[in-house]
A and B are shown apart, each in its own frame.
Chain A
Amino acid sequence: MVLAGGDALKLAFSMPFRVVDVTSGLLLLAFIGAEAASRHRLVWRR
């Protein structure tokens, strides 16, 4: 979904496609990192 959304951004707003690639990659890593953190019950404590 993130990759497809990135492709849509490239077409709809003529965004530089390498910027979209970097953003998509970082978003994917953030999502799977957050998923792993929730699986290991890691919580942010203030």
Chain B
Amino acid sequence: MEEALLRAVLFGTPILLAGLGALLAERSGVVNLGVEGMMALAALTAFAAAQAYGPLPGVLAAFGVGALSGLFLGLFTVTLRANQFVAGLAVAALGLGASGLLGKRYEGLPLAHPLPEGGFALLGAVLALLVHLFLTRTRTGLFLRSAGENPKAVDLFGVSVDGVRYLALGLGGGLIGLAGAYLSLAYRPSWTDGMTAGLGWVAIALVILAAWHPLRALLGAYFFGLLFFLQFRLQGSVPIPSEAFAAMPYLLVILVLALSGRSRAPKALGQPFERGR
């Protein structure tokens, strides 16, 4: 039982960190479907930087690359007001492809000084609380939430909606970068192409499951972590093909999303803001 809970937390941590990043963007009104690619690129950057300069610069580099890729997504979704879903899918494909191509020289290399998984798990839980406090107790958080609910009100207040959305995408991208750093520096201290294994998509589902609430995202991420743990634990012990177990967490994600139909999305989610329209 204790092992199951511990593994649930460790499996759930990258989903939590990436989910918090996507949540920040979505609370400001921008759909971020690029999480998978951003995570992969950050995981590679973290590993490469850790090889050259050590693990902590690796974490910072992953945060930076995540933030930059969030701002890159903002260029299309906020400034150009392009379709947020297509832009997100493009960033996901670009991130996965670029990390796979650039990371070939790092495949199979061990990491000399991996970081403790527990440290990242603690960081994830603390960040969930901090994101909650930021959104509910700070003036900037209030503007961020308002940009996702009623951007015209933010604009009337004299605050730049685009600026608030860039801030959310940058900060959120940084958190997604931390999820990538966890994968390549702590969880599996190495770099392999495709090591994100669909966790970015699960993180997007987590945001909907958690009804855009950071503390519910914490619990939801550990729930998904438990599902991933059960997938590995039950393989071999039950006469069911391993492929069925591999599909189990994703099938349950669909089921959970279908059942959580009452969840409430920010009103201006996915809508580009144009002054005067």
Contacts and interface: CB of A to CB of B under 8 A. Distances in A.
B81 A3 contact: no
Interface of B: 37, 76, 80-83, 86-87, 89-98, 100-101, 193
Interface string A1-43: 0010010000000001111111111101101110111011000
B87 A32 contact: yes
Contact of A25 (B82, B83, B91, B193): B91
B236 to A, nearest CB: 30
A40 B91 CA distance: 22
Contacts, number: 68
Interface of A: 3, 6, 16-26, 28-29, 31-33, 35-37, 39-40
B94 A22 contact: yes
B94 A18 contact: no
Contacts of A29: 76, 87, 90-91, 94
Contacts of B92: 25
B68 to A, nearest CB: 15
Contacts of B91: 25, 29
A22 B86 contact: no
Nearest to A22: B97
A32 B76 CA distance: 8
Contact of B86 (A19, A20, A28, A39): A28
B141 to A, nearest CB: 29
B101 A19 contact: yes
B172 to A, nearest CB: 19
A42 to B, nearest CB: 10
A24 B89 CA distance: 10
